[in-house]
Chains A and B, each alone.
Chain A
Amino acid sequence: MVPISYYVILSGVLFGLGVIGFVFKRNIITIFMSIELMLNAVNLAFVAFSREFNQLDGLVFVFFVIVVAAAEAAVGLAIVMVIARNRKSLNVEDVNLLKF
């Protein structure tokens, strides 16, 4: 069997790549996808630990994370559409009304 540490390290690497994408990407939709990548990385850690400790609570958490991610994607993409309609651009640097 595969040791749990491998899963946790893969999860950490995916989360780190998600953070890098979140920081470096300029397109607002791609930034959103980086957030989804981070959520997926956390889900992998949840499932691995749930298996390691033989407890189902981790899987329940993953279930709720997926539900909340679906709701977040629906509302977030609606907001992206409104921003794109108002600003005529998908670049986050054009959305600077609240920027210091």
Chain B
Amino acid sequence: MSIPMIVFIICGIFAVLGAIGLILAREPVHSALSLVLVMIALAVLYLLLGAAFIAAIQILVYAGAIMVLFVFVIMLLNAGVEVRTNLSRLARWVGIPLAFLFLVEMIYSLFHEYVGRAGMAAGGTFAAPVPASTEALSMKIFTEFVLPFELTSILILIAILGALVLAKKESA
């Protein structure tokens, strides 16, 4: 077993365990920490895939900024243990089977598409592993995708304003 495979298996196990922990934890803070585990495992996988810039912003923006925001809000609202309520009858008899059907169908179709295919199954490795250089990525963002890139700054500005307006105390 090659070293990338071992790293992939370890990170995959951590990611899935973190996701399960997010679902099973009763305290929102524990869920948030499980999600941080998932994000760090995914950042290592991005490095394994050669996407160093994406791994960096995964750590900085996701595990850093967004999760800190979540933890701040959890502490600000003093979110305690989650209240368990009985699911409605519709959710129990229709929703749960449909959720599992969705999961099974997605895994089946992914297997069918990417494992069953001859080329992928035989030697489904990357033909010429060229690491995605940050230089090439930034060339793409600042030339081909420069208009969407500028639009994201407006989106962020609107989001800041919206968050301010929503969260401020009504003084009237």
When distances are taken between beta carbons in the complex, the residues of chain B under 8 Å from A50 are 49, 51, 132
A90–B31 alpha-carbon span in the complex (Å): 15
Q: Report if A37-B84 is in contact (Cβ < 8 Å); known contacts: A9-B110, A29-B73, A78-B162.
A: no
Task: Please report the number of residue pairs spanning A and B whose Cβ atoms sit closer than 8 angstroms.
Answer: 225
CB of A100 to closest CB in B, whole Å: 11
A side interface size, CB within 8 A? 68
Q: Report if A81-B66 is in contact (Cβ < 8 Å); known contacts: A37-B35, A44-B42, A59-B54.
A: no
When distances are taken between beta carbons in the complex, the residues of chain A under 8 Å from B91 are 23
CB of B145 to closest CB in A, whole Å: 5
A interface with B by C-beta (< 8 Å)? 1-10, 12-21, 23-27, 29-30, 32-34, 36-37, 40, 43-44, 47-48, 50-52, 54, 56-57, 59-60, 62-64, 66-75, 77-82, 84, 90-91, 93
Partner of B46, one of A15, A47, A54: A47
A-B contact pairs, 19 of them (CB 8 A): A4-B114, A5-B114, A5-B115, A5-B120, A5-B124, A6-B8, A7-B45, A9-B111, A14-B16, A15-B106, A25-B23, A40-B39, A40-B62, A44-B42, A51-B49, A62-B51, A69-B62, A71-B158, A72-B159
B interface SS class? helix
CB of A40 to closest CB in B, whole Å: 6
When distances are taken between beta carbons in the complex, the residues of chain A under 8 Å from B8 are 2, 6-7
The reply to whether B162 and A75 contact each other, CB–CB distance below 8 Å, is yes
A interface SS class? helix
When distances are taken between beta carbons in the complex, the residues of chain B under 8 Å from A9 are 107, 110-111, 114-115
